[in-house]
Amino acid sequence: MKLKSLEISGFKSFADKTIIEFMPGMTGIVGPNGSGKSNIIEAIRWVMGEQSAKDLRGTKMSDIIFGGTNKRSALNRSEVSMTFDNSDHYIKSEFNEIRITRKLYRSGESTYQINGVDSRLRDIHELFMDTGLGRESFSIISQGRVEGIFNAKSEERRGIIEEVAGVYKYKQNKERAQKE
């Protein structure tokens, strides 16, 4: 599974439609302070179903919609799409290409789509389940979190490593089975 592209429109500082195509290998995003690097990562977390406005550095979810500048008025809609090459079917889906889209209007109306079909947040979560991706996974580590990992107690750090390694869900299943 490979990340192919990210389309951002009306999300935070990205007022105009911006398309980022990911080439094979590693991608680095560089730019001056405040140019929108973190906003790109937040767009990725958002389209994967992030529900916490606070974790997107806002107080309410509509804070992610382009709020205007002194030259340009605010927008009413935010839309982010992320496309994966799934020709290896790493994501358990028949599709060779998977495109997820999330939209949010100032009115509060919000939608998700998977390959153009209206979907629920749950469907998005299920899509990424067991892939090591997903909104709360450690595949995305923010600036503040690095410090958190270093300062974590050893048991906590072990939990983080287990989650990254994909062992965590088996442990949870085991614990559940032992209780039953």
Closer CB to ligand ATP, residue 56 or residue 127?
56
By CB under 5 A, residue 13 contacts Mg ion:
no
Binding mask 46-85 for ligand ATP (x = CB under 6 A): -----------------xxxxx------------------
**Partner interacting with residue 13 (select from Mg ion, ligand ATP, none; CB below 5-8 Å by kind):** ligand ATP
| Residue 32 annotated in ligand binding | yes
Stretch that binds ligand ATP, among 35-43, 100-108, 150-158, 163-171 (CB under 6 A): 35-43
Q: What are phi and psi of 12, to 5 degrees?
A: 50, -125
CB of 131 to Mg ion, least distance (A): 25
Strand order of the β-sheet with 77-85 is: 18-21, 2-9, 77-85, 97-105, 110-114, 117-119
CB of 37 to Mg ion, least distance (A): 5
Q: Sign of dihedral through CA atoms 142, 147, 151, 154? A: positive
Which two structure tokens, joined as six digits, stand for 98? Answer: 């998977």
Residue 9 CB neighbour total at 10 angstroms = 19
By CB under 6 A, residue 39 contacts ligand ATP:
yes
3-state secondary structure of 11: strand
3-state secondary structure of 8: strand
Binding mask 38-67 for Mg ion (x = CB under 5 A): x-----------------------------
- Residue appearing with tokens 């079917």: 89
Q: Which residues contact 142 (CB under 8 A, 6 or more apart)?
A: 38, 41
By CB under 6 A, residue 9 contacts ligand ATP:
no
| DSSP state, residue 56 | G
- Footprint of ligand ATP on this chain (CB under 6 A)? 12-13, 31, 33-39, 63-67
- Which amino acids are annotated as binding site for ATP, given as ranges? 32-39
